[in-house]
């Protein structure tokens, strides 16, 4: 599970992309992003999030879920099409159940 | 004596959790009631110990007693004051009381001051104005109301200098009273303040705004009300909107309501239907529409005839940008009305839009099947798509040599899922640039987002320049990943052309094209598109598209953007103006939350000599330009500047009042922050704190995954976040942190899983989630529970009872399907 805290912009985005590439993901089946402490993801942050999800999905064949998002984030994900990249959940528990954890 | 329906309604409001509703109900009872039951209830409130409630209740009691012919109780000694004597003085007592007040104002007990204000409002004159004004300045509660009313009576001009502060009060009733006063001297500005108040998402603000909406021209108020009805879930707010619509019966409004009902989720549709039925009844009773045509069922064919085309045009935009229950309602409506040729034509258009294609194709296919016009697609082949995808994913470089032709064939002509998987294999294992790019270019033209994404990625690997001619396809896609890739390429190779294409889309007369353009813009660096978006906002007349543009802007928060939004004037539609006002509030919240208001406090260059920002009153012109050259800037209570406002603004203008409110909020945040500091709960260098940006990736499922990312190297602040005072979210945050379980928000539809505790005889159901009890109302069907199964509930929590139980409207309830059921 990846908990994002604060303003998710280019700096955090870069770190996330790097971490996604370098992390040992053998045996992992899914990744859940928890946005409960993240009020806003800006354009560059969103682009980085897409890149990270591409790495998870295309290279490691992981499923991706996003949960506990503010209304603004939900709207931003809807507009940018991020809601097609991963499944959206109200709570972490819901996401875990969905992925069969 | 039996209470009137109005009194019964007011009695119900006396139990409201919203203070402004309670106070309003007491004031209304004082005006209309003459029942002993009202006196009984008000006496209980007068003994509540709450200073505000006690004052208003005591005032109401005296008025009702007078109406009932009951004599006031004995007056006090000649030299002192008491509540009863002040509220209902005998005629011969008035001069004595006035003399006591004027000669020894400092001896008036604090708890009697509001009552003295009421007395002066009836018996005072202009000489009492300074005393009244001085109390208004120091009060920031509903107790300011009697002082405002009295001052307006004895000396209206003395109220004028105080209006700016009153219009920015955190008390909605005080704001409303100030707006009402302002309306007499500047109706246009008062209307702007009303719009700002209604734009607030705080139910209490909206309710207060609705209570004075009757004073303003209905055509403008109507647009604001329909904007509220689209998004607000608070039953009291919806009821308030309904009251105004029903009080101004128009056939057009009934038809607009029908459009809203059809696309609202179930719970909201129920509330809107009640308003619709009331409106139809009034339309018939008032003779505005012949009674036979005013029946709800008679309105539907009328709506189809007059409004369907406009409704469908709007639906095409809305459905592409809406999620959750509302989108499901829209889909259900389309399915229900697919027999109409106009609806099928819309579905054909939606099937070409990647955001809606699957839904549209499914509905059309079902329609075709139902009509026996088409046969279902043929059955699966020897191997399922999933088998093929699994096989492709497992291929290693050695195996790939054997299967290379088959994989390329799959990448050319298989089903979209397999084709995308095969293209990904080519990306991973194929080294033939020519073959791969040829196959991928065909994939881009497939129209299938998943295939296009994989194809674009493959081309980018071998020769990114070959994506340039394909940019229109990439930038026009609804798929976020494809657009991101297109934009990345466009930014590197042909940014100007990409921006021009987007600008042209944003200027298109068709709302659907504009909506698509906005979603394309999202991944551009915001500095490249901000000006374009702000320009588009000024003329945009569709509130859903305006909201999309604003979400893009809000996702890149800054003080500069807030300043630009402050100066943006949407002229096309009052509901868009309201959307912009909400965005300003949202942006300010985000800025406070992230600590970005520091941007405005840090001059670009250290100013030599005297301070660059000078302390001055609102509306006074500045003699010292701000370092950024942005013009005059009011300062916060602590001397920190806030964005510039035009120096020629009236002191009570919306921008000036907004600026003052922000300064106050920011100062309160500063104060809270410094208190946190002084309590010794800080760590490290606090000056470096700008925003907290920490990504913590924690191991949840596998011991091998442990990502711990720390953002903004070197600038991480470890001090605890100070809670900003935020009236718009005050209610929500209090409830969120103390009473409402995580995952739920008051007045927002939510879906949770929990246990049924009790099914009550009155049809309500007690439901437990995260150790919190919910009383679910409007439960359509109670499921058959064999044991202690989990149930899934979709609910709208809207009230917290004194025992902590949360009352919620139930949208959907069913037994949770267990994993092993399958």
Which residues does residue A63 pair with via DSSP β-bridges, in sequence order?
Answer: A30
H or E element at residue B705: none
Give the span between the Cα atoms of B752 and B770, in whole angstroms. 10
What residues of A are in contact with residue B526 (Cβ under 8 Å)?
A: 42-43
Q: How far is Cα B745 from Cα B764, in angstroms, rounded to an integer?
A: 20
- In angstroms, the separation between the Cα of residue B486 and the nearest Cα of chain A is 12
Are B154 and B129 spatial neighbours (Cβ–Cβ below 8 Å)? yes
CB contact under 8 A, B697 and A1: yes
pLDDT in tens, B483-512: 666 766 776 667 777 787 778 778 878 787
Q: B122-137 pLDDT, tens per residue?
A: 899 889 999 999 888 8
Q: Do the chains contact at A6 and B555, CB–CB below 8 Å? A: no
Q: Is the pLDDT of residue B699 over 70?
A: no
Residue B240 has pLDDT above 50, yes or no: yes
| Structure-block tokens of residue B39 | 């006196």
- Residues of chain B found within 8 Å of residue A11, distances taken between Cβ atoms: 693, 711-713
Share of chain B above pLDDT 90, in %: 7
B684 pLDDT higher than 50:
no
The answer for B683, left when phi > 0, alpha when psi is -120 to 50, beta otherwise, is beta
* Arithmetic mean of pLDDT, B308-330: 79
A75–B547 CB contact, under 8 Å: yes
Range B158-183 average pLDDT: 89
Encoded tokens for B647: 């120096």
pLDDT above 50: residue B628 = no
Nearest to A6 among B457, B547, B691 (CB): B691
- Nearest-angstrom CA–CA distance, B231 and B240: 14
Contact B172, B193 (CB under 8 A): no
Confidence (pLDDT) at A17: 84
Which residues 6+ apart lie within 8 Å of B43 measured at CB? B57, B61
CB atoms within 10 A of CB B642: 24
Q: Which of A59, A79, A91 would best serve as a mutation to test chain B binding (most B beta carbons within 10 A)?
A: A79
What per-residue confidence (pLDDT) applies to B274?
92
Instruction: Pick the residue from chain B with its C-alpha nearest to A91.
Output: B743
| pLDDT over 80 (residue B585) | yes
Residue B647 has pLDDT above 80, yes or no: no
Q: Could you tell me which of B239, B194, B254, B245 has the C-alpha nearest to residue B218?
A: B245
Region for residue B472 given its phi and psi (left: phi exceeds 0; alpha: psi -120 to 50; beta: otherwise): alpha
**Token pair belonging to B128:** 């009492």
| Closest CB from A8, A15, A27 relative to B704 | A27
Is residue A32's pLDDT more than 90? yes
Residue B58 pLDDT more than 60?
yes
Is B484–A47 a contact, with Cβ atoms under 8 angstroms apart? Answer: yes
Name the phi and psi angles at B168, rounded to 5: -100, 10
Calculate the CA B792 to chain-centre distance.
26
**pLDDT of B517:** 74
| Partners of residue A76 in chain B, C-beta under 8 Å | 522, 551-552, 555
Edge-first strand listing for the sheet containing A30-37: A87-89, A63-67, A30-37, A2-6, B693-697, B708-710
Indicate if the pLDDT at residue B241 is higher than 90.
yes
What pLDDT sits at residue A57? 85
pLDDT score for B520: 67
The closest alpha carbon to B774, from B811, B801, B742, belongs to B801
Minimum mean pLDDT range among B451-460, B606-615, B779-788: B606-615
CB atoms B523 and A47 under 8 Å = yes
pLDDT class of B784 with cuts at 50, 70, 90: low
Q: CB pairs under 8 A, 24+ apart, for B815-820?
A: B815/B783, B815/B784, B815/B785, B815/B789, B815/B790, B815/B791, B816/B753, B816/B789, B816/B790, B816/B791, B816/B792, B819/A97, B819/A100
Q: Give the integer Cα–Cα distance in Å for B300 and B392.
A: 54
The β-bridge partners of B641 are B635
Chain B residues with CB inside 8 Å of A34's CB?
A: none
**DSSP character at residue B244:** H
One-character DSSP codes across A25-71: -TT--EEEEEEEE---B-HHHHHHHHHHHHIIIIIT--EEEEES--H
Q: What does the pLDDT average to over B669-686?
A: 56
Q: Which residues of B183-193 are buried (b: 16+ CB within 10 A; e: fewer)?
A: beebeebbbbb
- Residue B421 to residue B390: CA distance in whole angstroms: 9
CB contact under 8 A, A79 and B594: no
Q: What is the pLDDT of residue B544?
A: 84
Put simply, the answer to whether A6 touches B393 (Cβ < 8 Å) is no
Residue whose tokens read 């919203």:
B18
Of all residues in chain B, the percent with pLDDT exceeding 70 is 73
Domains of chain A are 2-22+29-99 (3.30.750.24)
Q: Indicate the range of B187-196, B481-490, B499-508, B563-572 predicted with least confidence.
A: B481-490
* pTM score, whole prediction: 0.61
Both structure tokens of B181: 């006063």
How many angstroms away from the CA of B321 is the closest CA of chain A? 6
**At residue B623, does pLDDT exceed 80?**
no
Q: Is the pLDDT of residue B74 over 60?
A: no
Across the interface, do B700 and A32 touch by the CB < 8 Å criterion?
A: yes
Q: What pLDDT is recorded for position B446?
A: 84
Give B175's pLDDT tier (boundaries 50, 70, 90). very high
Q: Which residues of A touch B518 (CB under 8 A)?
A: 79
| pLDDT: which is higher, B351 or B75 | B351
State whether A46 and B526 contact (CB < 8 Å).
no
């Amino acid at each position: 599970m990846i908990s994002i805290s604060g303003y998710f912009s280019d700096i955090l985005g870069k770190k996330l992309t790097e971490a996604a590439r370098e992390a040992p993901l053998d045996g992992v089946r899914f990744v859940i992003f928890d946005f409960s402490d993240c009020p806003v993801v800006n354009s560059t942050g969103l682009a980085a999030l897409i890149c990270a999800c591409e790495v998870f999905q295309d290279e490691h064949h992981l499923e991706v879920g996003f949960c506990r998002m503010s209304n603004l984030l939900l709207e931003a994900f809807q507009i940018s099409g991020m809601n097609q990249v991963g499944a959206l959940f109200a709570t972490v528990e819901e996401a875990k159940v969905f992925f069969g954890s | 004596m039996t209470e009137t329906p109005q009194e019964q309604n007011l009695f119900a409001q006396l139990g409201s959790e919203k203070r402004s509703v309670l106070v309003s109900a007491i004031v209304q009872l004082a005006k209309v009631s003459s029942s002993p039951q009202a006196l009984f209830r008000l006496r209980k409130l007068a003994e509540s110990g709450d200073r505000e409630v006690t004052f208003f209740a005591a005032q109401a009691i005296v008025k009702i007693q007078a109406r009932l012919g009951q004599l006031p109780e004995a007056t006090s000694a000649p030299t002192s004051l008491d509540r009863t004597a002040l509220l209902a003085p005998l005629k011969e007592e008035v001069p004595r009381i006035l003399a006591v007040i004027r000669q020894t104002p400092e001896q008036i007990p604090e708890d009697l001051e509001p009552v003295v204000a009421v007395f002066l409002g009836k018996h005072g004159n202009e000489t009492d104005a300074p005393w009244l004004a001085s109390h208004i300045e120091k009060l920031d509660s509903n107790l300011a109301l009697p002082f405002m009313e009295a001052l307006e009576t004895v000396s209206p001009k003395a109220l004028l200098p105080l209006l700016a502060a009153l219009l920015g009060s955190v008390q909605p009733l005080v704001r409303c009273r100030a707006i009402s006063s302002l309306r007499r001297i500047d109706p246009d500005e008062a209307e702007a303040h009303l719009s700002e108040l209604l734009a607030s998402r705080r139910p209490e603000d909206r309710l207060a705004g609705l209570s004075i909406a009757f004073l303003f021209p209905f055509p403008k108020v109507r647009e604001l009300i329909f904007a509220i009805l689209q998004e607000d879930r608070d039953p009291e707010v919806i009821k308030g909107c309904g009251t105004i619509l029903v009080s101004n019966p128009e056939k057009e409004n009934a038809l607009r309501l029908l459009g809203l009902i059809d696309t609202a989720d179930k719970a909201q549709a129920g509330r809107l239907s009640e308003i619709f039925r009331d409106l139809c009844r009034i339309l018939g009773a008032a003779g505005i529409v012949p009674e036979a045509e005013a029946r709800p069922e008679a309105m539907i064919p009328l709506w189809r005839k007059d409004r369907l085309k406009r409704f469908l045009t709007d639906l095409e935009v809305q459905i592409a940008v809406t999620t959750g229950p509302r989108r499901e309602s829209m889909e259900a409506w389309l399915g229900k009305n697919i027999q109409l040729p106009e609806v099928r034509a819309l579905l054909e258009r939606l099937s070409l839009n990647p955001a809606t294609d699957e839904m549209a194709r499914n509905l059309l296919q079902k329609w075709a099947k139902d009509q026996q016009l088409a046969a279902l697609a043929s059955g699966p082949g020897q191997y399922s798509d999933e088998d093929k995808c699994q096989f492709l994913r497992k291929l290693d470089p050695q195996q790939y040599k054997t299967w290379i032709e088959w994989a390329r064939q799959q990448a050319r002509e298989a089903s979209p899922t397999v084709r995308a998987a095969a293209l990904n294999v080519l990306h991973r294992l194929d080294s033939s640039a020519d073959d791969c790019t040829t196959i991928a270019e065909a994939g881009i033209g497939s129209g299938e987002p998943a295939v296009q994404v994989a194809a674009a990625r493959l081309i980018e690997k071998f020769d990114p320049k070959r994506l340039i001619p394909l940019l229109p396809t990439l930038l026009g896609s609804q798929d976020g990943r494809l657009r991101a890739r297109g934009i990345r390429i466009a930014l590197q190779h042909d940014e100007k052309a990409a921006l021009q294409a987007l600008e042209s889309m944003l200027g298109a007369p068709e709302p659907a094209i504009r909506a698509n353009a906005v979603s394309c813009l999202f991944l551009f660096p915001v500095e490249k598109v901000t000006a374009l978006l702000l320009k588009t906002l000024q003329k945009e007349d569709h509130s859903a598209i305006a909201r999309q543009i604003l979400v893009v802007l809000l996702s890149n928060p800054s003080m500069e953007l807030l300043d630009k939004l402050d100066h943006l004037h949407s002229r096309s539609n009052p509901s868009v103006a309201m959307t912009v006002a909400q965005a300003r509030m949202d942006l300010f919240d985000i800025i406070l939350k992230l600590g970005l208001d520091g941007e405005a406090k840090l001059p670009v260059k250290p100013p030599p000599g005297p301070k660059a920002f000078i302390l001055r009153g609102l509306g006074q012109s500045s003699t010292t330009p701000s370092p950024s050259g942005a013009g005059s800037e009011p300062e916060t209570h602590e001397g920190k500047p806030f964005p510039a406002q035009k120096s020629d603004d009236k002191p009570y203008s919306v921008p000036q009042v907004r600026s003052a409110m922000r300064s106050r909020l920011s100062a309160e945040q500063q104060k809270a922050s410094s208190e946190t500091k002084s309590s010794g709960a800080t760590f490290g260098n606090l000056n470096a704190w700008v925003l907290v940006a920490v990504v913590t990736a924690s191991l949840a499922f596998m011991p091998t995954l442990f990502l711990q990312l720390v953002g903004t190297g070197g600038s991480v602040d470890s001090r605890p976040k100070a809670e900003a005072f935020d009236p718009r979210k005050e209610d929500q945050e209090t409830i969120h942190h103390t009473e409402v379980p995580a995952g739920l928000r008051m007045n927002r539809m939510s879906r949770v899983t929990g246990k049924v505790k009790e099914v009550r005889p009155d049809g309500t159901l007690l439901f437990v989630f995260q150790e919190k009890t919910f009383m679910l109302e409007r439960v359509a069907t109670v499921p058959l529970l064999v044991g202690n199964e989990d149930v899934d509930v979709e609910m709208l929590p809207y009230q917290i009872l004194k025992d902590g139980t949360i009352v919620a409207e139930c949208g959907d309830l069913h037994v949770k399907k267990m994993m092993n059921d399958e």
